[in-house]
Structure 1
Amino acid sequence: MRWTVLDSPIGELSVAVDEVGICGVRFGPVGSAVPEADLPELAAALTELRAYFAGELTGFTVPLHVLRGSEFERAVWAEMSKIPYGETRTYGEVAAAVGEPGAARAVGVACNRNPIPVIVPCHRIVGAGGKLVGFGGGLPRKRHLLELEAGVALRHAWT
């Protein structure tokens, strides 16, 4: 696994890649970074992340390689990846979608354990009634991501 750091509007993001694909995104710097030019897969991921933050990309295509997670967590991560850009779902809705309607809190734990935030959009999961709660990167980052997506989605709807 090789890491590099991306300067983004929500602060530094450390992005990890292995021989299969992107396997980690962390808030803040992690370990020693390699230049993105050294790894084409890493360069592709950073290009997509930059385009996302510029409001030019609404869906990631870089290959992912999830190295951990229980069956339930993987189901939650797969379900959150289905949430359309610019939209949200509640923890309860995601729990029901993965066949565990009483597991809203467990969905929150799975979101917190998401190894590839932003690309696997745990920020699109909100509390009941649309309340802005819980995010491993902090609520200001979650708000920024949701506002970015809402603005881009609105512009797309009006063009």
Structure 2
Amino acid sequence: MTSIGPSLLRMASPIGRLELTGDGESILSLSIERDGHLPLDDRPESPSPLLTRASRQLTEYFAGTRTSFDLPVRPQGGTPFQIGVWQRLSTLGFGEVTSYGELGLSLGKPGAGRAVGGAVGANPVPILIGCHRVLAANGRITGYSGGSGVPTKVWLLNHEGIEHQV
């Protein structure tokens, strides 16, 4: 990290304002506006070339002209289990879906659906690490921690053509 602190960029999107942070080499977080607020609203923006590139790629994603991201992402914090879940989520492509149970099985933790759900919800880099692509085994949306919650997840799933039930 640089001595002036992490870089910070905000951008408009169809699901609300987004706030990206980075350390110059990797994107550290992506927050989706909730109730008109972002976590670092009190800090001035300090964009970096990486965050500017991320903003451009996210704009293309929302416009429907990009289906994958070419960005270094390094989520901050997280237990080894959470990090494993985030790494597995990062392998899901545009329009792909998995269930909490399948995710647990792929990590060698059958029956860990609730723990997987907690790890998915703690993802600090939503959209770039596609936590919206996880549904219950029956295709239902069980929640979403980003933005406006379930309506935000519904928008993202619809955008990617992923069938689901509310």
TM-score normalised over the length of structure 2 = 0.85
Unaligned runs of 5+ in 1: 152-159
d(CA) in 2 for partners of 1:67, 1:133: 25
Bigger drift between 11-20 and 24-33 goes to: 24-33
Q: Does the 8 Å CA contact 1:2/1:33 hold for their aligned counterparts?
A: no
Shift of 1:35: 5.4
**One-letter amino acid of the structure 2 residue matched with residue 17 of structure 1:** G
SS at match of 2:138: helix
Which one has a larger percent helix, Structure 1 or Structure 2?
1
Partner Cα separation in structure 2 for residue 111 and residue 125 of structure 1: 8
Which string of whole-angstrom CA distances, capped at 9 and with x for unpartnered residues, describes residues 29-66 of structure 1? 23224254xx1011011011101111111111111122
Q: Tell me which residue corresponds to 1:145.
A: 156
Matched length = 149
The answer to whether the aligner puts 1:77 opposite 2:90 as a matched pair is no
1:88 matched to 2:97? The reply is: yes
Tell me if the contact between 1:108 and 1:134 (Cα under 8 Å) persists in the aligned partners: no
Amino acid at match of 2:107: V
**Structure 1 residues 87-112: Cα deviation after superposition (integer angstroms, max 9, x where no partner):** 21110000000110110110100011
Find the partner of 2:28 among 23, 30, 35. 23
Structure 1 segment 29-44 matched on structure 2, within 5 A: 29-31=38-40, 32-34=43-45, 36=47, 39-44=48-53
Letter in 2 for 1:143: V
Q: Pick closer, same or farther for the CA change 1:33–1:86 going to 2, 3 Å.
A: farther
1:45 to 25, 29, 54: 54
Q: RMSD in angstroms over aligned alpha carbons?
A: 1.3
- TM-score scaled by structure 1? 0.89
Q: Which moved more, 1:24-33 or 1:82-91?
A: 24-33
4+ aligned runs moved over 6 Å, structure 1: none
* Shift, 1:67, TM fit: 2.2
Identity of aligned residues (%): 36
CA distance in 2, matches of 1:52, 1:98: 28
Matches of residues 62-73 of structure 1 in structure 2 within 5 Å?
Answer: 62-73=71-82
| In structure 2, distance between residues paired with 1:141 and 1:147 | 10
Separation (CA, whole Å) in 1 of partners of 2:76 and 2:46: 23
